[in-house]
A and B are shown apart, each in its own frame.
Chain A
Amino acid sequence: MSLAGSNLSYFPGCSLATTAKENNASLNSFLNHFDIRISEINDWNCCGSSSTHSVDKRLALSLASRNLFLAPENMAMLIACPGCYLRLSQAKMELNASKEKQTAYETLFGKPFQKDIQLLHFFELLVTMKDQGLLKGLGGKLKGLKIAPYYGCMLARPPKMNKEKNHYGLMEKTMASLGGESVRWPFLSTCCGTFLSVSRPEISEKLVNRIMQGAIRSGAECIVTACAMCHLNLEIRARPENRIPVFHFSELLSLALQKNGSKEWFKRHLINPEALMEKRGLV
Protein backbone atom coordinates (compact mmCIF):
# COMPACT_ATOMS: atom_id res chain seq x y z
CA MET A 1 0.00 0.00 0.00
CA SER A 2 1.36 3.38 -0.85
CA LEU A 3 1.22 5.76 2.07
CA ALA A 4 0.89 9.00 0.13
CA GLY A 5 -2.81 9.78 -0.19
CA SER A 6 -3.70 7.16 2.39
CA ASN A 7 -6.23 7.66 5.16
CA LEU A 8 -5.66 6.68 8.75
CA SER A 9 -7.80 7.15 11.80
CA TYR A 10 -6.00 8.95 14.56
CA PHE A 11 -5.93 8.67 18.35
CA PRO A 12 -4.13 11.74 19.77
CA GLY A 13 -4.63 11.04 23.49
CA CYS A 14 -4.99 13.56 26.32
CA SER A 15 -1.43 14.91 26.35
CA LEU A 16 -1.40 15.80 22.67
CA ALA A 17 -4.85 17.33 22.99
CA THR A 18 -3.74 19.60 25.85
CA THR A 19 -0.25 20.03 27.36
CA ALA A 20 1.53 18.91 24.20
CA LYS A 21 -0.51 20.65 21.49
CA GLU A 22 2.78 21.46 19.76
CA ASN A 23 3.44 17.72 19.45
CA ASN A 24 0.06 17.25 17.81
CA ALA A 25 0.46 20.23 15.47
CA SER A 26 3.94 19.23 14.34
CA LEU A 27 2.89 15.64 13.76
CA ASN A 28 -0.01 16.83 11.63
CA SER A 29 2.21 19.18 9.70
CA PHE A 30 4.76 16.42 9.07
CA LEU A 31 2.21 13.90 7.78
CA ASN A 32 0.42 16.54 5.78
CA HIS A 33 3.60 17.16 3.85
CA PHE A 34 3.47 13.57 2.56
CA ASP A 35 -0.25 13.68 1.94
CA ILE A 36 -0.92 11.11 4.64
CA ARG A 37 -4.36 12.00 5.88
CA ILE A 38 -5.36 11.40 9.44
CA SER A 39 -8.78 11.89 10.95
CA GLU A 40 -9.26 12.07 14.67
CA ILE A 41 -11.47 9.34 16.08
CA ASN A 42 -14.79 10.95 16.81
CA ASP A 43 -15.32 11.57 20.53
CA TRP A 44 -12.37 9.46 21.71
CA ASN A 45 -11.73 9.23 25.44
CA CYS A 46 -8.67 8.89 27.66
CA CYS A 47 -6.92 5.53 27.18
CA GLY A 48 -7.08 5.08 30.94
CA SER A 49 -3.51 6.24 31.58
CA SER A 50 -1.20 4.72 34.16
CA SER A 51 -3.48 5.78 36.99
CA THR A 52 -6.49 3.73 35.98
CA HIS A 53 -4.23 0.87 35.06
CA SER A 54 -2.52 1.07 38.47
CA VAL A 55 -5.58 0.86 40.65
CA ASP A 56 -8.59 -0.24 38.61
CA LYS A 57 -7.94 -2.86 35.95
CA ARG A 58 -11.52 -3.27 34.90
CA LEU A 59 -12.04 0.42 34.32
CA ALA A 60 -8.74 0.56 32.44
CA LEU A 61 -9.95 -2.12 30.04
CA SER A 62 -13.31 -0.40 29.60
CA LEU A 63 -11.81 2.99 28.79
CA ALA A 64 -9.33 1.61 26.30
CA SER A 65 -12.01 -0.59 24.71
CA ARG A 66 -14.42 2.26 24.03
CA ASN A 67 -11.81 3.76 21.71
CA LEU A 68 -11.32 0.46 19.90
CA PHE A 69 -15.07 0.27 19.31
CA LEU A 70 -15.25 3.89 18.12
CA ALA A 71 -12.58 3.32 15.48
CA PRO A 72 -13.87 3.35 11.90
CA GLU A 73 -13.80 -0.01 10.13
CA ASN A 74 -11.05 -1.11 7.78
CA MET A 75 -8.71 1.69 8.70
CA ALA A 76 -5.46 1.49 10.59
CA MET A 77 -5.41 3.60 13.74
CA LEU A 78 -2.43 5.85 14.22
CA ILE A 79 -1.52 6.40 17.87
CA ALA A 80 0.89 9.18 18.69
CA CYS A 81 1.61 8.51 22.35
CA PRO A 82 3.57 5.38 23.32
CA GLY A 83 1.61 5.13 26.56
CA CYS A 84 -1.77 5.17 24.81
CA TYR A 85 -0.40 2.72 22.24
CA LEU A 86 0.51 0.26 24.98
CA ARG A 87 -2.86 0.60 26.74
CA LEU A 88 -4.90 0.19 23.54
CA SER A 89 -2.76 -2.75 22.39
CA GLN A 90 -3.17 -4.47 25.72
CA ALA A 91 -6.93 -4.00 25.57
CA LYS A 92 -7.04 -5.42 22.04
CA MET A 93 -5.06 -8.42 23.25
CA GLU A 94 -7.25 -8.92 26.30
CA LEU A 95 -10.47 -8.81 24.27
CA ASN A 96 -9.04 -11.21 21.72
CA ALA A 97 -8.05 -13.60 24.49
CA SER A 98 -11.47 -13.73 26.12
CA LYS A 99 -14.67 -14.43 24.23
CA GLU A 100 -16.57 -13.56 27.37
CA LYS A 101 -15.11 -10.06 27.70
CA GLN A 102 -15.46 -9.48 23.99
CA THR A 103 -19.16 -10.33 24.08
CA ALA A 104 -19.72 -8.19 27.16
CA TYR A 105 -18.26 -5.13 25.44
CA GLU A 106 -20.01 -5.89 22.15
CA THR A 107 -23.29 -5.83 24.03
CA LEU A 108 -22.37 -2.64 25.85
CA PHE A 109 -21.30 -0.76 22.72
CA GLY A 110 -23.87 -2.38 20.44
CA LYS A 111 -21.47 -3.38 17.68
CA PRO A 112 -19.00 -6.09 16.79
CA PHE A 113 -15.41 -5.95 17.98
CA GLN A 114 -12.87 -5.50 15.17
CA LYS A 115 -10.51 -8.19 16.31
CA ASP A 116 -7.92 -7.47 13.65
CA ILE A 117 -7.94 -3.72 14.00
CA GLN A 118 -4.50 -2.45 13.09
CA LEU A 119 -2.96 -0.24 15.75
CA LEU A 120 -0.07 1.72 14.41
CA HIS A 121 2.39 3.50 16.61
CA PHE A 122 3.91 6.58 14.98
CA PHE A 123 7.30 4.79 14.88
CA GLU A 124 5.88 2.01 12.76
CA LEU A 125 4.39 4.49 10.35
CA LEU A 126 7.75 6.19 10.10
CA VAL A 127 9.49 2.89 9.35
CA THR A 128 7.05 2.27 6.50
CA MET A 129 7.61 5.80 5.23
CA LYS A 130 11.35 5.19 5.23
CA ASP A 131 10.90 1.84 3.47
CA GLN A 132 8.87 3.53 0.79
CA GLY A 133 11.63 6.04 0.28
CA LEU A 134 9.54 9.00 1.40
CA LEU A 135 12.28 10.37 3.60
CA LYS A 136 14.93 10.35 0.91
CA GLY A 137 16.32 13.56 -0.40
CA LEU A 138 15.45 15.57 2.67
CA GLY A 139 19.04 15.39 3.86
CA GLY A 140 21.04 17.91 5.72
CA LYS A 141 18.45 20.19 7.21
CA LEU A 142 19.45 19.40 10.78
CA LYS A 143 23.13 19.72 9.96
CA GLY A 144 25.40 19.92 12.97
CA LEU A 145 22.66 19.56 15.53
CA LYS A 146 23.90 17.34 18.37
CA ILE A 147 21.01 15.32 19.66
CA ALA A 148 20.50 12.96 22.58
CA PRO A 149 17.73 10.61 21.42
CA TYR A 150 15.58 9.75 24.43
CA TYR A 151 13.20 6.79 24.32
CA GLY A 152 12.33 6.50 28.01
CA CYS A 153 10.37 3.36 28.78
CA MET A 154 8.84 3.10 25.31
CA LEU A 155 11.37 0.45 24.28
CA ALA A 156 10.20 -1.78 27.11
CA ARG A 157 6.99 -3.75 27.09
CA PRO A 158 5.33 -6.44 29.16
CA PRO A 159 6.55 -10.02 28.46
CA LYS A 160 3.26 -10.99 26.85
CA MET A 161 3.89 -8.41 24.15
CA ASN A 162 7.54 -9.25 23.59
CA LYS A 163 6.95 -10.37 20.04
CA GLU A 164 6.18 -6.81 18.99
CA LYS A 165 8.88 -4.93 17.20
CA ASN A 166 10.92 -2.54 19.22
CA HIS A 167 12.22 0.37 17.26
CA TYR A 168 15.46 0.91 19.07
CA GLY A 169 17.73 3.05 16.89
CA LEU A 170 14.98 4.55 14.78
CA MET A 171 15.42 8.06 16.13
CA GLU A 172 19.19 7.89 15.59
CA LYS A 173 18.78 6.67 12.02
CA THR A 174 16.12 9.20 11.17
CA MET A 175 18.07 12.08 12.68
CA ALA A 176 21.20 10.96 10.83
CA SER A 177 19.37 10.90 7.51
CA LEU A 178 18.36 14.49 8.19
CA GLY A 179 21.89 15.60 9.00
CA GLY A 180 21.65 15.55 12.81
CA GLU A 181 24.28 13.85 14.96
CA SER A 182 23.07 11.56 17.70
CA VAL A 183 25.34 11.22 20.70
CA ARG A 184 25.87 7.89 22.43
CA TRP A 185 24.70 8.15 25.99
CA PRO A 186 23.69 5.88 28.83
CA PHE A 187 20.24 7.22 29.75
CA LEU A 188 18.30 6.81 26.52
CA SER A 189 15.90 4.32 28.04
CA THR A 190 15.79 5.42 31.68
CA CYS A 191 12.18 6.04 32.74
CA CYS A 192 11.31 9.74 33.29
CA GLY A 193 9.30 9.01 36.44
CA THR A 194 5.89 9.42 34.76
CA PHE A 195 3.22 10.24 37.36
CA LEU A 196 5.72 10.41 40.23
CA SER A 197 6.58 13.82 38.84
CA VAL A 198 3.41 15.11 40.52
CA SER A 199 3.06 12.88 43.55
CA ARG A 200 6.75 12.36 44.45
CA PRO A 201 8.48 15.22 42.64
CA GLU A 202 11.78 14.71 44.48
CA ILE A 203 12.15 11.22 42.99
CA SER A 204 11.31 12.48 39.53
CA GLU A 205 13.66 15.39 39.88
CA LYS A 206 16.54 13.11 40.78
CA LEU A 207 15.93 10.97 37.69
CA VAL A 208 15.28 13.80 35.30
CA ASN A 209 18.46 15.62 36.27
CA ARG A 210 20.49 12.46 35.95
CA ILE A 211 19.10 12.11 32.43
CA MET A 212 19.63 15.76 31.47
CA GLN A 213 23.13 15.84 32.90
CA GLY A 214 23.94 12.62 31.08
CA ALA A 215 22.88 14.24 27.82
CA ILE A 216 24.99 17.33 28.45
CA ARG A 217 28.05 15.28 29.42
CA SER A 218 27.75 13.26 26.24
CA GLY A 219 28.02 16.46 24.23
CA ALA A 220 24.37 16.83 23.23
CA GLU A 221 22.93 20.31 22.82
CA CYS A 222 19.34 19.10 22.90
CA ILE A 223 17.23 16.06 23.69
CA VAL A 224 14.57 14.61 21.43
CA THR A 225 11.67 12.69 22.97
CA ALA A 226 9.08 10.40 21.46
CA CYS A 227 6.58 10.72 24.29
CA ALA A 228 4.77 13.88 25.38
CA MET A 229 4.84 12.83 29.02
CA CYS A 230 8.63 12.44 28.98
CA HIS A 231 8.85 15.82 27.28
CA LEU A 232 6.83 17.49 30.02
CA ASN A 233 8.70 15.79 32.86
CA LEU A 234 12.12 16.66 31.47
CA GLU A 235 11.11 20.28 31.00
CA ILE A 236 9.43 20.82 34.36
CA ARG A 237 11.86 18.94 36.60
CA ALA A 238 15.23 20.00 35.13
CA ARG A 239 17.30 22.18 37.44
CA PRO A 240 18.60 25.45 35.95
CA GLU A 241 22.11 24.10 35.31
CA ASN A 242 20.72 21.16 33.34
CA ARG A 243 18.28 22.95 31.12
CA ILE A 244 19.02 22.14 27.49
CA PRO A 245 16.21 22.32 24.91
CA VAL A 246 13.93 19.29 24.63
CA PHE A 247 12.20 18.75 21.29
CA HIS A 248 9.36 16.47 20.35
CA PHE A 249 10.53 14.07 17.65
CA SER A 250 7.72 15.35 15.42
CA GLU A 251 8.96 18.93 15.82
CA LEU A 252 12.44 18.09 14.56
CA LEU A 253 10.99 16.07 11.70
CA SER A 254 8.84 19.02 10.68
CA LEU A 255 11.73 21.45 11.05
CA ALA A 256 13.78 19.27 8.75
CA LEU A 257 11.16 19.54 6.02
CA GLN A 258 11.57 22.91 4.33
CA LYS A 259 12.05 24.30 7.82
CA ASN A 260 8.31 24.59 8.12
CA GLY A 261 8.24 24.49 11.89
CA SER A 262 5.97 27.03 13.46
CA LYS A 263 7.18 29.56 16.04
CA GLU A 264 4.00 28.88 17.97
CA TRP A 265 5.15 25.38 18.84
CA PHE A 266 8.40 26.51 20.38
CA LYS A 267 6.76 29.31 22.36
CA ARG A 268 5.00 26.62 24.35
CA HIS A 269 8.27 25.10 25.53
CA LEU A 270 9.31 25.75 29.12
CA ILE A 271 12.97 25.57 28.07
CA ASN A 272 13.36 28.08 25.28
CA PRO A 273 14.99 26.42 22.24
CA GLU A 274 15.16 29.56 20.09
CA ALA A 275 18.82 30.42 20.72
CA LEU A 276 19.88 26.92 19.69
CA MET A 277 17.62 26.96 16.65
CA GLU A 278 19.13 30.24 15.53
CA LYS A 279 22.65 28.97 16.08
CA ARG A 280 21.93 25.91 13.90
CA GLY A 281 20.06 27.89 11.28
CA LEU A 282 16.75 26.20 11.96
CA VAL A 283 14.61 29.32 11.98
Chain B
Amino acid sequence: MDAIVMNEASGNFAREVEALSHANLSRCWHCLTCSGGCPFAEDMEYLPNAVIRMIQFGLKEKVLKSNTIWLCVGCNTCSMECPNSIDMAAIMDALRQMALREHSEIAEPGILSFHQAVINSIRRHGRTHKLEIMMKYKFSEKDLFSDMNLGLKMLAKRKLDLLPSKVKDRKSITSLFKFSGGAS
Protein backbone atom coordinates (compact mmCIF):
# COMPACT_ATOMS: atom_id res chain seq x y z
CA MET B 1 0.00 0.00 0.00
CA ASP B 2 1.15 3.54 -0.73
CA ALA B 3 2.25 5.70 2.17
CA ILE B 4 -0.69 7.40 3.81
CA VAL B 5 -0.23 11.12 4.23
CA MET B 6 -2.22 12.44 7.16
CA ASN B 7 -2.80 16.16 7.24
CA GLU B 8 -5.33 18.57 8.64
CA ALA B 9 -7.79 17.80 5.88
CA SER B 10 -7.76 14.07 6.61
CA GLY B 11 -10.31 14.46 9.37
CA ASN B 12 -12.82 16.19 7.11
CA PHE B 13 -13.87 13.01 5.40
CA ALA B 14 -14.56 11.31 8.72
CA ARG B 15 -16.58 14.28 9.94
CA GLU B 16 -18.60 14.30 6.75
CA VAL B 17 -19.38 10.59 7.01
CA GLU B 18 -20.35 11.00 10.66
CA ALA B 19 -22.65 13.89 9.87
CA LEU B 20 -24.45 11.94 7.16
CA SER B 21 -24.63 8.60 8.97
CA HIS B 22 -24.96 9.71 12.60
CA ALA B 23 -22.44 6.96 13.42
CA ASN B 24 -19.54 7.56 15.77
CA LEU B 25 -16.50 6.15 14.00
CA SER B 26 -14.07 6.66 16.84
CA ARG B 27 -15.90 4.07 18.91
CA CYS B 28 -14.68 1.31 16.57
CA TRP B 29 -12.17 -1.06 18.18
CA HIS B 30 -11.35 -2.83 14.92
CA CYS B 31 -12.28 -6.07 16.56
CA LEU B 32 -13.30 -7.43 13.11
CA THR B 33 -16.60 -8.83 14.33
CA CYS B 34 -18.42 -6.99 11.55
CA SER B 35 -16.10 -8.24 8.82
CA GLY B 36 -16.21 -11.78 10.16
CA GLY B 37 -19.99 -11.84 10.03
CA CYS B 38 -20.62 -10.01 6.78
CA PRO B 39 -21.90 -12.56 4.24
CA PHE B 40 -20.42 -10.50 1.39
CA ALA B 41 -16.98 -9.92 2.88
CA GLU B 42 -15.17 -12.33 0.57
CA ASP B 43 -16.23 -10.35 -2.49
CA MET B 44 -15.44 -6.95 -1.02
CA GLU B 45 -12.28 -5.04 -1.94
CA TYR B 46 -11.96 -3.74 1.62
CA LEU B 47 -13.56 -5.31 4.67
CA PRO B 48 -16.21 -3.26 6.48
CA ASN B 49 -13.94 -2.42 9.45
CA ALA B 50 -11.13 -1.50 7.04
CA VAL B 51 -13.49 1.01 5.46
CA ILE B 52 -13.86 2.66 8.86
CA ARG B 53 -10.09 2.81 9.24
CA MET B 54 -9.69 4.25 5.75
CA ILE B 55 -12.27 6.91 6.50
CA GLN B 56 -10.29 7.82 9.61
CA PHE B 57 -7.15 8.09 7.49
CA GLY B 58 -8.97 10.38 5.07
CA LEU B 59 -8.66 7.99 2.11
CA LYS B 60 -11.78 9.37 0.49
CA GLU B 61 -11.15 8.54 -3.14
CA LYS B 62 -10.18 4.93 -2.46
CA VAL B 63 -13.24 4.36 -0.28
CA LEU B 64 -15.72 5.98 -2.64
CA LYS B 65 -14.31 4.06 -5.60
CA SER B 66 -14.38 0.70 -3.84
CA ASN B 67 -16.88 -2.05 -4.53
CA THR B 68 -17.48 -2.51 -0.79
CA ILE B 69 -19.95 0.35 -0.60
CA TRP B 70 -22.04 -1.19 -3.40
CA LEU B 71 -21.89 -4.81 -2.26
CA CYS B 72 -23.13 -3.90 1.21
CA VAL B 73 -26.86 -4.67 1.07
CA GLY B 74 -27.56 -3.08 4.45
CA CYS B 75 -28.60 -6.35 6.09
CA ASN B 76 -27.46 -5.09 9.55
CA THR B 77 -25.89 -8.46 10.39
CA CYS B 78 -22.69 -6.67 11.36
CA SER B 79 -24.20 -3.97 13.55
CA MET B 80 -26.18 -6.56 15.51
CA GLU B 81 -22.91 -8.12 16.60
CA CYS B 82 -20.84 -4.95 16.92
CA PRO B 83 -19.81 -4.42 20.57
CA ASN B 84 -20.15 -0.68 20.04
CA SER B 85 -23.40 -0.66 18.08
CA ILE B 86 -21.82 1.09 15.13
CA ASP B 87 -24.36 1.52 12.36
CA MET B 88 -22.34 0.12 9.46
CA ALA B 89 -25.28 0.08 7.06
CA ALA B 90 -25.79 3.81 7.67
CA ILE B 91 -22.08 4.43 7.06
CA MET B 92 -22.28 2.58 3.73
CA ASP B 93 -25.45 4.52 2.84
CA ALA B 94 -23.60 7.75 3.50
CA LEU B 95 -20.64 6.64 1.36
CA ARG B 96 -22.87 5.73 -1.58
CA GLN B 97 -24.59 9.05 -1.27
CA MET B 98 -21.22 10.83 -1.36
CA ALA B 99 -19.97 8.74 -4.27
CA LEU B 100 -23.03 9.72 -6.30
CA ARG B 101 -22.91 13.36 -5.30
CA GLU B 102 -19.25 13.69 -6.11
CA HIS B 103 -19.48 11.70 -9.33
CA SER B 104 -16.88 9.21 -8.19
CA GLU B 105 -16.09 6.27 -10.36
CA ILE B 106 -18.72 3.62 -9.54
CA ALA B 107 -17.14 0.22 -8.87
CA GLU B 108 -20.40 -1.67 -9.48
CA PRO B 109 -22.30 0.16 -12.21
CA GLY B 110 -24.60 -2.84 -12.62
CA ILE B 111 -25.81 -2.59 -9.03
CA LEU B 112 -26.43 1.13 -9.45
CA SER B 113 -28.41 0.60 -12.67
CA PHE B 114 -30.49 -2.02 -10.93
CA HIS B 115 -31.36 0.46 -8.16
CA GLN B 116 -32.22 3.04 -10.80
CA ALA B 117 -34.43 0.59 -12.67
CA VAL B 118 -36.32 -0.07 -9.43
CA ILE B 119 -36.73 3.64 -8.72
CA ASN B 120 -37.97 4.30 -12.25
CA SER B 121 -40.50 1.54 -11.89
CA ILE B 122 -41.77 3.12 -8.68
CA ARG B 123 -41.86 6.50 -10.41
CA ARG B 124 -44.08 5.06 -13.17
CA HIS B 125 -46.40 2.84 -11.16
CA GLY B 126 -45.96 3.74 -7.50
CA ARG B 127 -45.00 0.10 -6.99
CA THR B 128 -42.27 -2.13 -8.34
CA HIS B 129 -42.96 -4.09 -11.49
CA LYS B 130 -40.45 -6.93 -11.47
CA LEU B 131 -40.70 -7.90 -15.13
CA GLU B 132 -40.11 -4.34 -16.28
CA ILE B 133 -37.20 -3.95 -13.86
CA MET B 134 -35.57 -7.15 -15.09
CA MET B 135 -36.02 -6.22 -18.75
CA LYS B 136 -34.74 -2.67 -18.35
CA TYR B 137 -31.86 -3.81 -16.22
CA LYS B 138 -30.81 -6.57 -18.60
CA PHE B 139 -31.11 -4.10 -21.46
CA SER B 140 -28.97 -1.49 -19.77
CA GLU B 141 -26.35 -4.13 -19.05
CA LYS B 142 -26.58 -5.41 -22.64
CA ASP B 143 -27.06 -8.82 -21.11
CA LEU B 144 -30.31 -10.08 -22.55
CA PHE B 145 -29.67 -13.79 -22.38
CA SER B 146 -28.37 -14.70 -18.97
CA ASP B 147 -31.27 -15.74 -16.78
CA MET B 148 -33.51 -16.03 -19.84
CA ASN B 149 -34.56 -19.55 -18.90
CA LEU B 150 -35.24 -18.46 -15.39
CA GLY B 151 -37.33 -15.54 -16.63
CA LEU B 152 -39.42 -17.87 -18.78
CA LYS B 153 -39.92 -20.28 -15.91
CA MET B 154 -41.02 -17.42 -13.67
CA LEU B 155 -43.44 -16.22 -16.32
CA ALA B 156 -44.91 -19.70 -16.65
CA LYS B 157 -45.40 -19.86 -12.88
CA ARG B 158 -46.87 -16.34 -12.99
CA LYS B 159 -44.18 -15.17 -10.65
CA LEU B 160 -43.58 -12.32 -13.08
CA ASP B 161 -46.76 -10.50 -13.93
CA LEU B 162 -47.03 -9.01 -17.40
CA LEU B 163 -48.88 -6.01 -16.07
CA PRO B 164 -47.82 -3.99 -13.04
CA SER B 165 -49.74 -3.60 -9.81
CA LYS B 166 -50.31 0.15 -9.75
CA VAL B 167 -51.11 3.07 -7.50
CA LYS B 168 -54.32 4.72 -8.76
CA ASP B 169 -53.45 8.22 -7.67
CA ARG B 170 -50.44 8.58 -9.98
CA LYS B 171 -50.31 12.34 -9.49
CA SER B 172 -49.50 11.89 -5.83
CA ILE B 173 -46.50 9.76 -6.77
CA THR B 174 -45.30 12.34 -9.28
CA SER B 175 -45.57 15.09 -6.69
CA LEU B 176 -43.83 12.88 -4.15
CA PHE B 177 -40.85 12.53 -6.51
CA LYS B 178 -40.87 16.29 -7.10
CA PHE B 179 -41.07 16.98 -3.39
CA SER B 180 -38.13 14.66 -2.80
CA GLY B 181 -35.93 16.56 -5.19
CA GLY B 182 -36.65 14.43 -8.23
CA ALA B 183 -33.29 12.84 -7.52
CA SER B 184 -31.68 10.03 -9.50
Give the distance in Å from the alpha carbon of A198 to the alpha carbon of B110 in the complex: 9
Check A55 against B181 for contact (C-beta < 8 Å): no
Residues 90 to 113 of chain B near chain A (Cβ within 8 Å): 90, 93, 96-97, 100, 108, 110-113
B89 CB–A CB distance under 8 Å: yes
Give the distance in Å from the alpha carbon of A107 to the alpha carbon of B89 in the complex: 31
CB-CB < 8 A to A207: which residues of B?
Answer: 39
Check A268 against B157 for contact (C-beta < 8 Å): yes
Give the distance in Å from the alpha carbon of A19 to the alpha carbon of B159 in the complex: 4
Check A55 against B100 for contact (C-beta < 8 Å): yes
A134 CB–B CB distance under 8 Å: no
Residue in B closest to A55 when the chains form the complex, CB atoms: B115
A18 CB–B CB distance under 8 Å: yes
Residues 45 to 87 of chain B near chain A (Cβ within 8 Å): 71, 73-77, 79-80, 82, 85-87
Check A158 against B40 for contact (C-beta < 8 Å): no
Q: Which of B77, B96, B122 contacts A45 (CB 8 A)?
A: B122
Residue in B closest to A162 when the chains form the complex, CB atoms: B85
Check B114 against A63 for contact (C-beta < 8 Å): no
CB-CB < 8 A to A44: which residues of B?
Answer: 167
Check A270 against B154 for contact (C-beta < 8 Å): yes
Check B39 against A191 for contact (C-beta < 8 Å): yes
A195 CB–B CB distance under 8 Å: yes
Check A43 against B167 for contact (C-beta < 8 Å): yes
Check B179 against A159 for contact (C-beta < 8 Å): no
Q: Which of B77, B93, B108 contacts A200 (CB 8 A)?
A: B108
Check B159 against A232 for contact (C-beta < 8 Å): yes
Q: How far is the CB of A103 from chain B (nearest CB, A)?
A: 13
Check B157 against A160 for contact (C-beta < 8 Å): no
Check B147 against A46 for contact (C-beta < 8 Å): no
A201 CB–B CB distance under 8 Å: yes
Residue in A closest to B113 when the chains form the complex, CB atoms: A199
Give the distance in Å from the alpha carbon of A103 to the alpha carbon of B49 in the complex: 38
Number of B positions contacting A (CB below 8 A)? 64
**Which of A1-9, A113-121, A123-131, A149-157 interfaces with chain B?**
A149-157
Q: How far is the CB of A154 from chain B (nearest CB, A)?
A: 10
Check B77 against A54 for contact (C-beta < 8 Å): no
Q: Which of A18, A61, A196 contacts B161 (CB 8 A)?
A: A18
Check B127 against A201 for contact (C-beta < 8 Å): no
Give the distance in Å from the alpha carbon of A194 to the alpha carbon of B153 in the complex: 20
B168 CB–A CB distance under 8 Å: yes
Residue in A closest to B158 when the chains form the complex, CB atoms: A268
CB-CB < 8 A to B184: which residues of A?
Answer: 55-56, 59
Given contacts A59-B177, A199-B137, contact A158 B79 (CB under 8 A): yes
Check B165 against A14 for contact (C-beta < 8 Å): yes
Check B80 against A157 for contact (C-beta < 8 Å): yes
CB-CB < 8 A to A162: which residues of B?
Answer: 80, 85
CB-CB < 8 A to A190: which residues of B?
Answer: 39, 77
CB-CB < 8 A to B137: which residues of A?
Answer: 198-199
Given contacts A57-B97, A270-B159, contact A194 B180 (CB under 8 A): no
Check A55 against B112 for contact (C-beta < 8 Å): yes
Q: How far is the CB of A238 from chain B (nearest CB, A)?
A: 11
Give the distance in Å from the alpha carbon of A232 to the alpha carbon of B180 in the complex: 31
CB-CB < 8 A to B153: which residues of A?
Answer: 270
Given contacts A57-B93, A203-B43, contact A49 B128 (CB under 8 A): yes
A258 CB–B CB distance under 8 Å: no
Give the distance in Å from the alpha carbon of A44 to the alpha carbon of B146 in the complex: 33
Q: Which residues of A contact B (CB under 8 A)?
A: 14, 17-19, 21, 43-46, 48-59, 61-63, 66, 108, 153, 155-160, 162, 189-191, 193-196, 198-201, 203, 207, 232, 236, 267-270
Q: Which residues of B contact A (CB under 8 A)?
A: 39-40, 43, 71, 73-77, 79-80, 82, 85-87, 89-90, 93, 96-97, 100, 108, 110-116, 118-119, 122, 126-130, 133-134, 137, 146-147, 150, 153-154, 157-161, 165, 167-169, 172-173, 175-177, 179-181, 183-184
